[in-house]
Amino acid sequence: MKGFQFAGIRAGIKKKDQKDLALIYSDSPAVAAALFTRNKVVAAPVILGREKIKKGLCRAVLVNSGNANCFTGERGIEDARACSGLVAKGLDIPEDQVLVSSTGVIGAYLPMEKFDAGIPELIQALSENHMDDFAEAILTTDTRRKMVTETGSIQGKAFSITGIAKGSGMIRPDMATMLAFVLTDAKIEKEDLTAILTAVNERTFNRITVDGDTSTNDTLLALANGKSGALIHDPESKAVFQTVLEKVCQQLSKMIVRDGEGATKLVQIIVKGAKTKEDAFKASEAIAHSNLVKTAIYGEDPNWGRITAAAGRSGARVVTEKMDLYFDDQPLVLKGQWLGPDVEKEIARLMKKEEIFITLDLNLGQETDGFWFCDFSENYVKINAEYRS
């Protein structure tokens, strides 16, 4: 990625011997756009980020894991500002061009002595080749790093978009990523980057769920440094850029769900034939969030009653006698009628796969929407019961 450097180190913020402090640095001021959590309880980095992003330029992003810096009051905000100040001083850049993000346990103050010692080491470690270290250092309960790079071309000039994300639990479609950073060497104005990022987010990160919880720290940040010379300015170039960005964000979204805490299966629910767009959203969201559906998926049980019941309570318009339900291309319910035990046994065999596709056709209109979600296992309970131990 042209013009960006990365670092990730162990600063001792986490109890375990793991990397926990990370940095992105742009060689020149990058156009910046961001979306943040819709939770009313927000972390100090989000409060600070909402303020700084208005200026639309960024040179560096500091990220720590192991501590959310949330519910820490004025001291938390002061600590976040102090962290950005340390980065700015070390890199000799304006402090208002340094953003910070945090993820981890809510309610604890940042161990500032770890940042005082770690940030100089972090700056020394910056390199174009250390993206893996950055991606590792931002993880919490994740079991794997999440990175994607895609390329495109505008008027013969190639550009690239790289996305790096973390997220495994506390994931639902209210800026669902926990933390995601999208970097591009294309040249684009802040207003256009914000508009495209918002549209892409709605179809990707806002269409996934792991456990139905909205984090206090969710941040989706995009930086564009223009180093490739590919100019995004007219409808055609914007469409090309948006297509590539959506490809990156869609892959990251699915990685998050696939790595859901305790998850064993990745599932897509599509609701089609809805009367309105709102109905398609409501029905698919209710199914994706249903613990009864998620536990049935884990048990490889084609419990179609749970799926149709979730749609029925969603607030969407449904008519029982018109509903069709498919697993892959195999129907299990047609016009509200169960197709019997032999068909259900075939569906149960399909459910042994790691990736499952479910379609509910309401047969009431032309609108479609959908979600990616995962199953719900006893390991989810274990991970979260021991999270602060």
Q: What is the pLDDT of residues 209-268, one digit of tens each?
A: 999 888 899 999 999 999 999 999 999 999 999 999 999 999 999 999 999 999 999 999
Ramachandran sector of residue 73 (left: φ over 0; alpha: ψ -120 to 50; beta: rest)? left
194 vs 213, higher pLDDT: 194
Q: Are strands 208-209 and 367-374 parallel, antiparallel or unpaired?
A: parallel
Tokens (6 digits) for 17: 């011997």
In terms of Cα–Cα distance, which of 62, 252, 249 is closest to 167? 252
Continuous segment of H or E residues that includes residue 9: strand 4-9
pLDDT of residue 176 exceeding 70: no
Which one from 72, 140, 177, 184 is the annotated catalytic residue?
177
Q: Spell out the alpha helix ranges (H) of 230-340.
A: 235-258, 277-289, 291-298, 304-312
* pTM summary value: 0.94
| 177 carries an active-site annotation | yes
Which domains, and CATH codes, for the chain? Answer: 4-258 (3.60.70.12), 266-385 (3.10.20.340)
